[in-house]
Structure 1
Amino acid sequence: MLELKIYQRDTLDAFSNYLEMLKKERQTSETVIENLKQVGGSISEDVFNEVRNYPKTAWKKLSENNGVAATAGEYVDRKDGANRPIPHICFKVPTGGGKTLLAASALERLHRQRGLTLWVVPTQAIFDQTKAALWNREHPYRKVLERASGGRVKMLEREDAFSRDDITNYLCVMLLMLPAANKSPDKKLKDKAYYRMYRNSGRYSSFFPDHDDNDGNALMLEKYPDLDFSTEGDIPMQSLFNVIKVLRPVVVLDEAHKAYGTRNGKEFASSINRLDPQMVIELSATPNSGISNLLVDIGGPDLKKEEMIKSPVQVSSYSGMKWQDTLREASEELERLDTEARLLESSTDRYIRPIAVVRVERTGKDQRDNNYVHAEDVREYLTQHLKVPPDAVRVKSATQNELQGEDLLSKNSQVRWIITKAALMEGWDCSFAYLLVVLDKTRSQNAITQLVGRVMRQPHAQVTGRESLDQCYVFCNDTDVDAAVTQVKKGLESQGLTGLEDKIFGKGNIQDQADFQTETICRRKPFRGQEIYLPVVRHKEDSEWIQLNYQAHILPHIDWLSIKPPDPNASAPDSATLRTATVNVGDAPPVFHEDQEPHVEKNISVSEFALCLSDIVPNPWQAARI
């Protein structure tokens, strides 16, 4: 059984305290309501509603005794479709903090061995990852559920049939995607996930009276007044949506910020409320304080202390270099890490295979040109120039998944380089990932923010004792080091890893970011509201001036044979600069180190140079000759 970390045990203890307080206040609420009814008289409905709101009372008492997160805001009330208060809490857990294990363990603390649990996830990637864990009886997360239910777990997807007997005899856990759970008035029936969940189905007949059982249907609608009705009359729809409302499930909402962080966040919260849950347990790296009640706030230092993440982050930024040179520098770092990993294995029998994640600008089959760094450009450079074995390089994109079925943690895997654009930004975790190499010229800062969390998980959740293997690395091409450090900090914040901002160390270009600043220029009053005309270059043909066309007016007049081959070293930069910095846990600012001059390969390849020239020289044979 997977051993819980200290912060995970503390989180679950806080949850247990919450459950005890909730139970106590619910009993008090029921007693007071019963007494009020016996007294009679003109007691307003507002009084009854206040007394019924035992989750709010429980939260208030916990808050007064430091039983909730110090960062928690005002209590947020939520009511279900029948106007009952919903107990709902949120665990703030950074990426890499074991949210799924906490969710499964929280279900165990409920001491609820039977019934329905909805496990809602935001994306297909996280759905697949969660399913792989919970459907595997040998996985630690599934073992927690088995222990909680006494070995009686039934895993379900939205399309799976189940009966009342299943609910009576099993802990049924249904994995759902966010769109399926989001019932909105403007939803269209063409949305299959929406339509299937709310339509009549013969799969759930055991939960409803027969259509011609008028007394049974009347009693059901009296007991569950907020069910969806059939268009045929006062008969409840035999839909999955109505079944869920009848069963009043516990809802586990993974990555809650993905739902609540959108402009429709409150609408989605209302959709969850309409499912009539008896409790909502949210897990989020960056909770929405206006929607969630923050019970526990776990920070980056908690994960660092428990050896869950690699830290610090070493940031390297290169100026005056081609992307190929940056890739070569990253390759050399990966080789150094691999050497350290082999030494570690020989002395401790602990296996680690460091992997580099490379962010490119293009991955599409028909998108390869000389203007953007394409996945195949990087693959070709790695295999042909840096002599990386082809099987060690894989591409992961929206249309190309060469990681399918690959166990990256296995000794049988050969993968050391993963090339992607955006496919790994969420729902992908591999603790062997050590290097993030960003070759994106135009959006590199956003890429750093979104991908840095992919390389921060500590292998086996245990430090190695070797400095180089207990930290992670970010390599940036042609990006200011100060800007890169800032984006890494933002990336840590977006992953919930607050408190680690000083665990980032950067190195990079010599130009100080402070030398540049953005300034908004306002037009002088006489020119405001006037149209602006941009100049156009024209070509005179006979007596007529026409717009200049490169292909028609310039290329025919170039004497290609007079163009001589360039100096082989001319394409290499006059100088390149590597600047490094380190940021560690605490309030200390980043420490920038002495500038270095990295090695730059000055030999040129005829085929590469000809390919670059082909954008200017229309004849590839002339390009090759030059």
Structure 2
Amino acid sequence: MELKDFQQEVLDCFDSYLDSLVDKRLNALKIENLIQAEPDLDLDVPDYTEKAWEALTTIGALPPSRAQIPFSPRKDGTGQPVPSVTFKIPTGGGKTLLAAQAVSRIMSKWIQTNHGFVLWIVPNESIYTQTQKALNNREHPYRQILDRAAAGKVKILEKTAPLDRRDAESHLCVMLLMLQSSNRQNKDSLKIFKDRGNVRGFFPTEDDFQAHSAILDKVPNLDVYGDKSMLGCVIKDSLGNALRVTRPVVVMDEGHKAFSRLALDTLYGFNPSFVLELSATPADRDKDTPPIYSNWLVDVRGTALDKEEMIKLPINVTVRGDDDWRDCLRASFEHLNSLQVQAESL
């Protein structure tokens, strides 16, 4: 599928961000290694996500409309920084196409592998069905983009599908999830956080307490049976825990609908390696302490879609009882005149 000019510009900007992100992460790792070698040095490991954002700000690559909005850092459930950016794209601008293209770039440039896990979150049943149909169809451009990124090894999953660690280590697994499933009100009431028999290979056998303890040292926000402070607790074989150790790429379609405090805590509690939000109307939580803002990487305006003849206008149909075409023409003319009067009054 050929990209529109504005879509290519979005992806070019995203490429620049990923390049900067990789560079700043490398610098942060060097400082971290130096601190480990010389613990007496008075150094702090910088947040590479913030440094990458600052680099783009310096060269004027970010939207001028957000010039006064500060970068809003994100942390995962273990306290590690998470790259999180927003594509502000008008409705009809090809958000799903851009999401698939972005996932391909994240895997190659950031994750630097062609296998792993993508958690693709949608806001409602309609978009879920559309996205699922497209990604399951090997002839569809969205699926073909992912197939190229993963050398043809793509698995599209639903939340109840069996999941084996070997799948995530050999395929690009894309799990579709509706918002209400991930935005937990009570984690024990949702199946995604419950121990279940079809999540296999992510954790040691139940009697290997030392191995469970070692994993918890690395990923302390896992759900367990027992007391985490005591040797003998067992990590639950749940999808939520599998996500936390897999560190998925998270795609949030209509990201503004997952911007409640609860939704953010839940999503970042999955320990994502990258979060991409796509929305026509990104949200901010400027009354929070500290405030939480959407990090707009791009701001595509309606004029860009208009230039590409992608504007979708509603069609209002009036049904009349008679079949005289002259009545239809007369009513259309009267309505046109009415619209003209309204337009002139603006």
Q: Which moved more, 1:146-155 or 1:230-239?
A: 230-239
Aligned residue identity for 1:4:
L
Question: Greater helix percent: which structure?
Answer: 2
Provide the C-alpha distance between the structure 2 equivalents of 1:237 and 1:386, rounded to a whole number of angstroms.
Answer: 68
- Counting aligned pairs with the same residue, the percent is 38
Match of 1:254 in 2: 253
Provide the C-alpha distance between the structure 2 equivalents of 1:142 and 1:196, rounded to a whole number of angstroms.
Answer: 28
Match of 1:28 in 2: 27
SS at 1:91's partner residue? strand
Provide the C-alpha distance between the structure 1 equivalents of 2:339 and 2:123, rounded to a whole number of angstroms.
Answer: 37
* Distance verdict in 2 for CA 1:159–1:385, change over 3 Å: farther
Match of 1:4 in 2: 3
Correspondent of 2:339 among 580, 584, 587: 580
Q: How many residues align?
A: 321
Residue 285 of structure 1: CA displacement?
0.2
Q: Does residue 1:201 correspond to 2:203, yes or no?
A: no
Match of 1:15 in 2: 14
Residue 140 of structure 1: CA displacement?
1.2
Match of 1:561 in 2: none
Q: Does residue 1:274 correspond to 2:269, yes or no?
A: yes
Give the superposed CA RMSD: 2.5
Structure of greater Rg: 1
Aligned residue identity for 1:167:
A
Residue 203 of structure 1: CA displacement?
1.2
Q: Describe how 1:526-605 pairs up with structure 2 within 5 A.
A: 578-581=337-340, 590-591=343-344
Provide the C-alpha distance between the structure 1 equivalents of 2:81 and 2:270, rounded to a whole number of angstroms.
Answer: 13
Provide the C-alpha distance between the structure 2 equivalents of 1:207 and 1:188, rounded to a whole number of angstroms.
Answer: 20
Provide the C-alpha distance between the structure 1 equivalents of 2:75 and 2:54, rounded to a whole number of angstroms.
Answer: 17
Q: Does residue 1:304 correspond to 2:310, yes or no?
A: no
Match of 2:328 in 1: none
SS at 2:156's partner residue? strand
**Quick check: 2:128–2:178 contact (8 Å CA) kept in 1?**
yes
Provide the C-alpha distance between the structure 2 equivalents of 1:204 and 1:174, rounded to a whole number of angstroms.
Answer: 14
* Distance verdict in 2 for CA 1:159–1:39, change over 3 Å: same
Residue 172 of structure 1: CA displacement?
0.5
Residue 291 of structure 1: CA displacement?
3.0
Residue 36 of structure 1: CA displacement?
2.4
Provide the C-alpha distance between the structure 1 equivalents of 2:276 and 2:340, rounded to a whole number of angstroms.
Answer: 40
Q: Show CA shifts across 1:191-236 (max 9, x none).
A: xxxx210010111131110001122212111221111111485111
* Distance verdict in 2 for CA 1:582–1:254, change over 3 Å: farther
Match of 2:281 in 1: 286
**Quick check: 2:244–2:272 contact (8 Å CA) kept in 1?**
yes
- Relative contact order (C-alpha < 8 Å, sep 6+): which is higher? 2
Match of 2:96 in 1: 100
**Quick check: 1:18–1:62 contact (8 Å CA) kept in 2?**
yes
Residue 52 of structure 1: CA displacement?
3.8
TM-score normalized by the length of structure 2: 0.86
Provide the C-alpha distance between the structure 2 equivalents of 1:256 and 1:291, rounded to a whole number of angstroms.
Answer: 12
Aligned residue identity for 1:178:
L
SS at 2:163's partner residue? coil
Aligned residue identity for 1:251:
V
Q: Describe how 1:412-431 pairs up with structure 2 within 5 A.
A: none
Residue 90 of structure 1: CA displacement?
0.3
* Distance verdict in 2 for CA 1:149–1:178, change over 3 Å: same
Correspondent of 1:57 among 48, 51, 59: 51
Provide the C-alpha distance between the structure 1 equivalents of 2:341 and 2:157, rounded to a whole number of angstroms.
Answer: 47
Residue 42 of structure 1: CA displacement?
7.0
Provide the C-alpha distance between the structure 1 equivalents of 2:301 and 2:211, rounded to a whole number of angstroms.
Answer: 52
Q: Show CA shifts across 1:405-442 (max 9, x none).
A: xxxxxxxxxxxxxxxxxxxxxxxxxxxxxxxxxxxxxx
Q: Describe how 1:134-149 pairs up with structure 2 within 5 A.
A: 134-149=135-150
TM-score normalized by the length of structure 1: 0.49
* Distance verdict in 2 for CA 1:246–1:188, change over 3 Å: closer
Provide the C-alpha distance between the structure 2 equivalents of 1:162 and 1:40, rounded to a whole number of angstroms.
Answer: 41
Q: Does residue 1:76 correspond to 2:72, yes or no?
A: yes
Q: Describe how 1:41-56 pairs up with structure 2 within 5 A.
A: 41=40, 43=42, 48=44, 51-56=45-50
Q: Show CA shifts across 1:89-134 (max 9, x none).
A: 0000000000000000001112141000000001111111111111
**Quick check: 2:92–2:312 contact (8 Å CA) kept in 1?**
no
SS at 2:340's partner residue? strand
* Distance verdict in 2 for CA 1:148–1:582, change over 3 Å: farther
Provide the C-alpha distance between the structure 2 equivalents of 1:238 and 1:582, rounded to a whole number of angstroms.
Answer: 65
* Distance verdict in 2 for CA 1:138–1:386, change over 3 Å: farther
Aligned residue identity for 2:257:
K
**Quick check: 2:255–2:282 contact (8 Å CA) kept in 1?**
yes
Q: Show CA shifts across 1:526-564 (max 9, x none).
A: xxxxxxxxxxxxxxxxxxxxxxxxxxxxxxxxxxxxxxx
SS at 2:234's partner residue? coil
* Distance verdict in 2 for CA 1:386–1:119, change over 3 Å: farther
SS at 1:272's partner residue? helix
**Quick check: 1:266–1:291 contact (8 Å CA) kept in 2?**
no
Detail structure 1 runs of 4+ shifted over 4 Å in the superposition.
384-387
Residue 75 of structure 1: CA displacement?
0.4
Q: Show CA shifts across 1:561-584 (max 9, x none).
A: xxxxxxxxxxxxxxxx9512399x
